[in-house]
Amino acid sequence: MRAAFSSRKVKDKNVSINCRVVIGNDRSSLFSTKLIVPQKNWDGKNQQVKGRDYKHENNTLNLINLEIKDLINQYRAEHGKLPTSNEVKDLFLKINNQTSTYTNVSSALEKFIQIKKKEVKPQSMRSIITRLNYFKTFIKNQNYEGTRLDALNRYFIEEYIDFLNDYRKDNGEPLNKNTLRRAVTDIFQFSYVMAKKGFIKYDVFGVCEAPKGEPSKFTYLNDSEIKTIEHYEFSSKTLSKYRDYLMFMYETGFHYKEMQNFDTRIHTYISESGMKMISIEREKSQRQTCILPFSKEAENILLKYGEHHMPKVSLNCINRYFKEIAKVIGIEKDFTSKIGRKSFATKWLNLGVSKEAVAKMCGHKDSRVTEEHYMRVQDTKIIREVTEAMKVGQL
């Protein structure tokens, strides 16, 4: 009386492990364990997966075998006779399908989404939902919706990565490498959160690695380009207005959301030294605060509109008209809503302000984030510092 395991070849030199109940000469029909392992590692004779990296898979097989033996003994104790192999198989599948509603992949995913909605802002959640929809399509197409979450392993992730590499959006374009990496990382976090909340015993993807993304392209405006934009005479009033948005973001380091929320009656104060300052929470996290001087240039832009805040505008319009400004002026750079913010951080770094201070002005918790994503050292800073060092050396 036991569980007997066999393999069935699937793609990429892997095999899926199936099971049947054996009671004497009575053998049940096969059912899937949902385990996928390399064909070369499956040891049919010893009914296990070879290799030190397959402890989880072998534990799962042992658990199935023990559960089936327990079911046989329990049935015999209650009915005074042995069950048929298919009766045991049906009991096993019924019990495992009635496991906690959050231990199968589909229902666990819905629980994870509800948890994330309480933790992140709606704008970030929309991006996460988009990426999780790829996963929903995958588990539906591959019949993983009812699979126990704790039965998955790294081969499941490899299969998902293959799916993402082949995936095409509505416009026929493939996913870029950064989107693919974030989509896989979302699933790692899904497993981690489910383990942390107690829905599974451990993080099933804890040893997996996400595919590498592409290095982000850093785009900022140098002093010359900023002056050109500031003094350019646009024939269009609309472009002049969006130039003001760009210059305001450059003067304050605001992201689009901070600019939308900013109000001088709420977010400005006078420091002990008498300087007019800005203090506003980051919309992205609401845990960090941007603190920086309220420049005269930024104040003058507000005065043009006679209000305590910039006129409301959509992010799509910001991106569209920023690109139009670049085209009209002839600056061959990718103008997005973040270009003013990145140029702001780069400007202050090159003026000699410390990375820590620039990080605080941008509302970053860690200066490494600011340094990596929001500022670059310009040649003017290098020339200035080298010249000063040379002067000291001559003394």
Give SS3 for 282: coil
Which pLDDT score is estimated for 268?
A: 93
Can you spell out the DSSP letters for 169-229?
Answer: -TTSPBPPHHHHHHHHHHHHHHHHHHHHTTSSSS-TTTT--PPP-PPPPP----HHHHHHH
CATH 3.40.1710.10 corresponds to the domain 223-386: no
163 token code pair: 């799916």
Q: For the chain, how many residues are written?
A: 395
- Does the domain at 105-196 match CATH 1.10.150? Answer given as yes
Sequence ranges of the chain with CATH classification 1.10.443.10: 223-386
What is this structure's pTM?
Answer: 0.52
238 close to 321: Cβ distance less than 8 angstroms: yes
Torsion sign (Cα): 149, 152, 156, 161: positive
* Phi, psi of 103, deg, nearest 5: -95, -10
Distance in angstroms (rounded) separating the CA atoms of residues 192 and 254: 33
- The whole-number average pLDDT for the span 84-107 is 76
- Looking at the predicted structure, is the pLDDT value of residue 6 above 50? yes
Average pLDDT over residues 320-337: 93
Mean pLDDT of 349-363: 86
Q: Whole-angstrom Cα distance, residue 175 to residue 284?
A: 24
pLDDT above 90 coverage of the chain, percent = 45
Given this model, what pLDDT does residue 344 score? 92
CA distance 349 to 381: 9
For 167, list phi and psi in degrees, rounded to 5. Answer: -70, 140
Q: Say if residue 114's pLDDT is above 50.
A: yes
| pLDDT value for 2 | 87
Q: Which whole-number Å values give the CA distances from 111 to 50, 118, 172, 193, in the listed order?
A: 35, 11, 31, 10
Considering the chain, tell me which residue range(s) the CATH 1.10.150 domain(s) occupy: 105-196
| Element spanning 96, H or E | helix 85-97
d(CA 311, CA 241): 10
